[in-house]
Structures are given as structure tokens and as C-alpha cells.
Amino acid sequence: MKPAPFAYVRAGSLDQALDLLAEYGEDARVLAGGQSLIATLNLRLSAPAVLIDINGLDELAGIAVEDGVLRIGALTRQRVIEDSREVERDAPLLTMAMPYIAHPAVRNRGTIGGSIALADPAAELPACAVALGARIELRGPSGPRTVEAEGFFRGLYETDLGPGEVITAIKVPKSAPAARSAIAEFARRHGDYAMIGLAGHARVDGGALADVRLVFFGVGAKPIRATAAGAVLEGRKIDDAAVAAAQDALADDLDPSADLHAGAATKLHLARVLTARVLKQLAGGAR
Ligand SMILES: Cc1cc2nc3c(=O)[nH]c(=O)nc-3n(C[C@H](O)[C@H](O)[C@H](O)COP(=O)(O)OP(=O)(O)OC[C@H]3O[C@@H](n4cnc5c(N)ncnc54)[C@H](O)[C@@H]3O)c2cc1C
């Protein structure tokens, strides 16, 4: 299929992009990597009057370490994040997550900001952002603001992004030396969106877990933080009993609904399997 006709503007600056968004309102869409947007245009799931291309805005791309925080510009390509030594050192969960996202050709174009803005419930990066306690930096008509990733995702493809706002960066606290990260998922084929996945981040002090953040994707309308499972793991060493306790606590955290891939009972079963796998990775010293 072909998209409905649209106008195209290549923004020369962030201010110009914001002015255009203010001018066209609901009729405009920001074009980043285009890996999701162009498909929705071609399928006529979306028919904006204007595309505002932000690909020329170098100020939105790049990775910097500022005051203990890794600041990843919204336009930074997923492939750049995958290959970044800073990310591997300071937020290794993102490095681990990248190979699960589509294929290299998609990651060469797809951006972190596009994935966070799209908020696909089965996407890896929104869940990783919540697991890492990241903050989303936005700019809009009222100026800049920053929101916790955990509150940013509101529902199915629904975020806290307000009218005329763009994501400018994702800010990730640098992982502490004792921090451990892990990710696992089930997908029908490698590179497909996950049927269900789990991103985990915790501190491991003398073998005992602290600040456990387990975040599921593909199991609800948005990333789901398993707070009950996290709570039963606090202060415990990862052994069979701890894994079983966390698995049992999932009944309080998850209320999966059936989707194209699996029924609710299967999803809950897979969530238990992923919990064991992710905890094993954390125990094994995954960074
Ligand atoms: C074959 C294929 C397989 C894929 N598999 C996966 C997968 O397994 N896991 C996964 O997570 N993703 C997957 N994707 C999606 C891919 O990661 C996309 O690149 C990503 O979701 C969107 O990023 P983008 O830069 O391409 O955004 P675009 O497609 O350009 O935009 C997506 C949406 O976000 C908005 N947007 C983009 N940037 C901003 C910004 N800075 N501020 C505000 N709004 C913005 C756009 O207006 C649009 O509504 C797949 C894509 C393809 C084509």
C-alpha cells in the first residue's frame, strides 16, 4: 500500500521543529528513524498532513556522561548505542537489549527516542528505561521538562508526551559498580517483537540483592514493573527458594491478557520461566 499524501519539512533546528509542531498540531508527526512511522503511513494506520523530519538535528544525537548520568540524545541510532563503550560501561542493560531489537538494518536507522515515543508494549527499550530508573527529557511549547520513565508510559502506545512536545534525550543514571543487569525474552523468530520479555536491574551486595527492578514487556499495555516479585527478592541471595518466591509473587504483579501470540495462562507461565532466567543471569554476574 502507499501512504496518504503528506507534506514534508526537514527541520533545520529544534526550535524550528517545535514551531512547526505548534503550527500543525495534531496534523503533524515527527519523523525520526521512520522504522515504525513509515510502516504505519504505508498501512494507512496514520495519515498526518505533515512530516517533520528531525534527522538533520545533530543536537538531538549523541551520548555524553554528565554528573553521573548517561545522556543519550533522542536521535541516537540504536546501532550506535549497541556499539557504544560508554553505554556498555555505564548502562550495560541497553547494550544487552539491542540484539533483541529487530535486525541490524532496522537498528541502523531506528532511534532510542523513536522507540520510547512509540511506546510499543512489546518493545525492549521502554522496559529497559523503567528498569534503569531513567528519565525522559522533553521539550515543548512550555520549555524543557524531565519525567521519570516509570510514569512516562501510560497505556497502549500512550505516553506523557504532550501536544507539541518532542523527546530530546533519555537520561540514565550510571550503573553502580555493584549493579547487575539482565534481559531475556521469547519471540517467535529472532528479531521479532517479543511475545513476552523481562528486563532486570539490581545491586548485588555480598551476593544479596538490593533495589531490584524487574520490568516485563509484552505482557500488558505498557512496561509492567513487578514490584511484588522485586520486594520478595530484597536482601536475599539468588537460590532456588528465592526464585520460586519471586515466581509466586508474579500473580500479584501480572494480569496478562491473551494476544495474538498466547493466552493469559501461557504468558504467566512464560513470565515465570523468564524470571528464573533473568535471576540466574543476575546471579551469574551479568553486568
Ligand atoms: C522489521 C522491524 C522489526 C522491529 N522489531 C522491533 C523489536 O523487536 N523491538 C523493538 O523495540 N522495536 C522493533 N522495531 C521498531 C524499531 O525499533 C523502531 O525503530 C522504533 O520503534 C521507532 O524508532 P524510529 O526512530 O524508527 O521512530 P519513527 O518510526 O520515526 O517514529 C515512531 C513514532 O515516534 C515518534 N517520534 C520519533 N522520535 C520522536 C521524538 N524524538 N520525540 C517525539 N516523538 C518522536 C514519531 O512521530 C512516531 O509517532 C522493529 C521495526 C521493524 C521495521
Give burial (CB, 10 Å; 0-12/13-18/19+) of 97. buried
Q: What is the distance in A from the centroid of ligand 1 to the CA of 90? A: 24
How sure is the predictor about 287, in pLDDT bands with cuts at 50, 70 and 90?
Answer: low
Q: What is the distance in A from the centroid of ligand 1 to the CA of 114? A: 4
- The pLDDT value recorded for residue 259 is 87
Mean pLDDT of 145-153: 98
Say what angle helices 264-283 and 240-253 make with each other, to 10 degrees: 140
- The pLDDT value recorded for residue 258 is 87
- The pLDDT value recorded for residue 148 is 98
How sure is the predictor about 125, in pLDDT bands with cuts at 50, 70 and 90?
Answer: very high
Q: What is the distance in A from the centroid of ligand 1 to the CA of 139? A: 19
Residue 181: φ, ψ to 5°? -130, 155
Mean pLDDT of 46-69: 96
Cβ within 8 Å of residue 245, ≥6 positions away: 232, 233, 236
- The pLDDT value recorded for residue 257 is 85
- The pLDDT value recorded for residue 285 is 66
Task: Choose which residue among 35, 138, 189 to substitute to test ligand 1 binding: the one with the highest number of ligand atoms within 8 A of its C-beta.
Answer: 35
- The pLDDT value recorded for residue 1 is 75
Render pLDDT for 155-197 as a digit per residue (tens, 0 to 9). Answer: 999 999 999 999 999 999 999 999 999 999 999 998 899 999 9
Q: How far apart are CA 232 and CA 279, in angstroms?
A: 13
Cβ within 8 Å of residue 241, ≥6 positions away: none
Residue 187: φ, ψ to 5°? -135, 155
Q: Is it the case that residue 90 has pLDDT exceeding 80?
A: yes
Q: What is the distance in A from the centroid of ligand 1 to the CA of 37? A: 7
Q: How far, in Å, are 82, 217, 237 from residue 124 at the CA level?
A: 13, 7, 27
Mean pLDDT of 213-238: 97
Render pLDDT for 1-25 as a digit per residue (tens, 0 to 9). Answer: 789 999 999 999 999 999 999 999 9
Task: Choose which residue among 106, 161, 215 to substitute to test ligand 1 binding: the one with the highest number of ligand atoms within 8 A of its C-beta.
Answer: 106
- The pLDDT value recorded for residue 14 is 97
Tell me the pTM.
Answer: 0.97
Q: How far apart are CA 200 and CA 282, in angstroms?
A: 8
How sure is the predictor about 286, in pLDDT bands with cuts at 50, 70 and 90?
Answer: low
- The pLDDT value recorded for residue 181 is 97
Render pLDDT for 224-236 as a digit per residue (tens, 0 to 9). Answer: 999 999 999 999 9
Does 126 contact ligand 1 (Cβ within 6 A)?
no
* Residue for grid cell 513487578: 226
Q: What is the distance in A from the centroid of ligand 1 to the CA of 166? A: 14
Mean pLDDT of the chain: 96
Q: Is it the case that residue 124 has pLDDT exceeding 70?
A: yes
Q: What is the distance in A from the centroid of ligand 1 to the CA of 36? A: 4
Does 186 contact ligand 1 (Cβ within 6 A)?
no
- The pLDDT value recorded for residue 271 is 98
Mean pLDDT of 95-121: 98
How sure is the predictor about 261, in pLDDT bands with cuts at 50, 70 and 90?
Answer: confident
Does 29 contact ligand 1 (Cβ within 6 A)?
yes
